[in-house]
Structure 1
C-alpha cells in the first residue's frame, strides 16, 4: 500500500539528515532546538519517522570541548560501522565550532556504545561545521564548511580525502566561497553540503546566507572522472536551486540531505519555517521543521522545484 506523506515530517528538527540503510530502515537525526545533544530515530517507512520513538544517544559535556551548541549531526554507515559527524563549541566560546566524530559497531545505531573518535583536524584551527562524507571510486571523501581567517566571509566549502572515517589525508581544497549576492545576505555563508551521484556526475548542494527567509540552496557540479580535489573541477550554478516560496508559506528552506523511497523516487530532505517574521535571532527560533519532497532530473542535473505547502500531499 502506498503511504501518504505530508509536511512537516518532524517538527522542530532543523538540519535534518535521513538515510535509508540496507537493513530496510530509515534513520533520522537533526539539530535539537536547544542544541544540547544528538537525537536518533528509525522507522520502516519515511512517513513513520513522524511518530517513531526518539533517543538522544549523546548529550553535550558540561565544560570544555563539545559543551555547547551541538549542530547538524549526520549518520553514516562506513566500512561496516556507524559514524556520527557533528559540530560543537565550548561553553566559554559558544560559536567557535569544531567538527567531531563518534563510532558505533552495533547493527542498530540506537543501541550499543558510541565511542568518541575525536576532532576531525583540518588545515586550520578555525570555525568549522557541517561535515558530510561520500565514497567514489574506492576513496572516502569528506566535505565541510569552514572559516578562512585570511579572507572575508563566514564559511566556505572544502573537500579532502580520508585515511579513515575520522582522519583527513592529502590536500584540503576550497571548492566554493560566497560570491553571488544570494550567498551574502546577512552572512557570507556556504554551509550544509550534501552529495548526489548520478549519470557520471557528482553534485553537492549547499546552503547560503542567513538562517531567516533568505536561507536558500545552491549547487556545485563535477565530472565523476575529474580530480575532485582540484577546485577547477567544480562549477557553481549561478542561481539558487531551492528557496523561499511566499505563496506556499515556506521560508528559508535549506540544510538538506537526500534519501529514496522503496520505488526509487528521489527525496529531498530539508528544513523550513512556515512564517517569515521572526522575533530575535533566527538561530533561536525553534520552528525550522523537517520537510521532504520528491525531485526530478533533467540533462543538467537535479531539479528541486518549489517547497511544498504544509499539509499538501508530498506523494
Structure 2
C-alpha cells in the first residue's frame, strides 16, 4: 500500500504526472499563472523534493501572455510536447467567459528540462472560442486529442471533444462531441465539463473529467467506451449519471478534480488530482492558491469499473 503525504505538492493545481523511461515528470498550474515548470524524479515520491525547472515563461503581450493554465507534458513520436491554455487578456468576453485558447510547445532534445522548447502556436479547432485542458493519447494506431471547449450553440462554459491529430498541434477531421454539462452535479455554479484524463483497464477506455465551479462543487465524472469500438461514434460512449469523485465534508477535502493518471513501478494505477482543505475562499476561487496536488490509488471493481472512493484527509 502506498501512503503518500497529503497534500503531496502544495499550491499546484491541475496536476499532471508522466511516467516515461524510468522517470516521473510533474507539471501543473502555478499560482502566478505565468510560467511552465517541470520536475523530474526517479520515483513518484521523489517529485515532492525535486527542484522545479522553468522551461517557458509567458511573453509580455500577445495570445499567450495571460493566465497560463493546466499544462500537460507528453511524448509523441519521440518528441516532448507541452499543451497549455493561455489568453491575451484577463478580461472576460461578452459572454462573461475567459478568452483562452490552446497552445503547444515542442522539444526535440532528449532532456525536456535542459532542452530547447519551440512555440508551435495555437491548436485550432472547429470553433474560435474558449478552449482549455487538452490531453492526448494513442489508441487504435492513432494519436488522439481530447479537450474542453465552448460551443456557440450549447449553453454553458465547456464541453468535451475528441479528434484525431495530424501532428501534435494540428487536428484532423471533424471533432466528436463526447459530453456536455447536463446533470445537476455538472451545473453547479457554472455549466462545465473540463480537465479530461484517459485511462484503460480490461476491455474499456475511460475518460474522467471535472464538472461545475472550482469551489467545493467541483467533482469528477466518467465516460467509457469498449476498446474495440469506433471512437468517432458518439453513440458508443457511455456516461455515468452520478459523479465518481467529489467533496468529502467528513475528511475536509473540497472540490477534488482536474485529475490525471499515473502508475507505480508495479503497474498500479494512481489518481493525481487537486483539492482544497477549506471552503472559506475570499474572492474568486481561481485566485486562491491552495488547490494542492494529491495522490490516491485507483481500485478496480469486479465489473471492470474504477472505484475512486473519497478524497483522503490531510496527513497529520
Work out whether residues 259 and 266 of structure 1, in 8 Å CA contact, stay in contact via their aligned partners in 2: yes
In the TM superposition, residue 55 of structure 1 has moved relative to its aligned partner by 1.2
Pairing 1:147–2:150 present: yes
Does the 8 Å CA contact 1:212/1:251 hold for their aligned counterparts?
Answer: yes
Listed one character per residue, the Cα deviations across residues 232-255 of structure 1 (whole Å, up to 9, x for unaligned) are 111110000000001111000000
Tell me whether 1:205 sits opposite 2:208 in the alignment.
Answer: yes
- Cα shift at 1:93: 4.2
Taking structure 1 as the reference length, what is the TM-score of the superposition? 0.96
Query: What is the root-mean-square deviation in Å for CA atoms of aligned residues?
Result: 1.2
Alignment of 1:9-158 (within 5 A): 9-22=8-21, 24-91=22-89, 93=91, 95-158=98-161
Structure 2: runs of 5 or more not aligned: 93-97
Distance 1:108 1:294 in 2: 29
Deviation readout 1:281-304 (Å, 9 max, x if unpaired): 100000000000101111141110
Match of 1:302 among 292, 301, 306: 306
Per the alignment, residue 7 of structure 2 pairs with: 8
Where does the alignment leave 5 or more consecutive residues of structure 1 unmatched? none
Whole-angstrom CA distance in 1 between matches of 2:230 and 2:77: 23
CA–CA distance in structure 2, aligned partners of residues 265 and 137 of structure 1: 23
Q: Secondary structure at the match of 2:222?
A: strand
| 8 Å Cα contact 1:64/1:90 also seen in 2 | yes
Q: Give the secondary structure class of the aligned counterpart of 1:246.
A: coil
Note the alpha carbon deviations across 1:154-193, whole angstroms, 9 max, x for none: 0000000011111100121111000000000000000000
**Contact 1:171/1:229 (<8 A) preserved:** no
- CA distance in 2 between partners of 1:92 and 1:153 (Å): 19
Hey, what's the Cα distance between the residues in 1 that align with 2:157 and 2:203?
32
1:187: which partner in 2? 190
Q: Are 1:176 and 2:174 an aligned pair?
A: no
Asked if 2 retains the 8 angstrom alpha-carbon contact of 1:28 and 1:49, the reply is: yes
Q: Runs of at least 4 residues of structure 1 off by over 3 A?
A: none
Deviation digits for residues 84-121 of structure 1 (CA, Å, limit 9, x no counterpart): 00000013646200000010012221111001111111
Is 1:254 aligned to residue 257 of structure 2? Answer: yes
Distance in 2 separating the partners of 1:32 and 1:211: 16
Is the CA contact 1:187–1:210 (under 8 Å) kept in the aligned structure 2? Answer: yes
The separation in 2 between residues aligned to 1:8 and 1:49, in whole angstroms, is 13
Q: Which residue does 1:227 correspond to in 2?
A: 230
Alignment partner, residue 289 of structure 1: 292
**Equivalent position SS for 2:134:** strand
Can you list the C-alpha shifts for 1:30-78, whole angstroms capped at 9, x where unaligned?
Answer: 0010111111101111111111100121111111110000000000011
Rounded to whole Å, the distance in 2 between the matches of 1:233 and 1:3 is 35
Give the distance between the partners of 2:153 and 2:244, measured in 1 at CA. Answer: 29
Q: Specify the alignment match of 2:95 in structure 1.
A: none
User: Helix, strand or coil for the counterpart of 2:306?
Assistant: strand
Q: Which runs of structure 2 are paired with 1:232-243 in the superposition (5 Å)?
A: 232-243=235-246
TM-score normalized with structure 2 length: 0.96
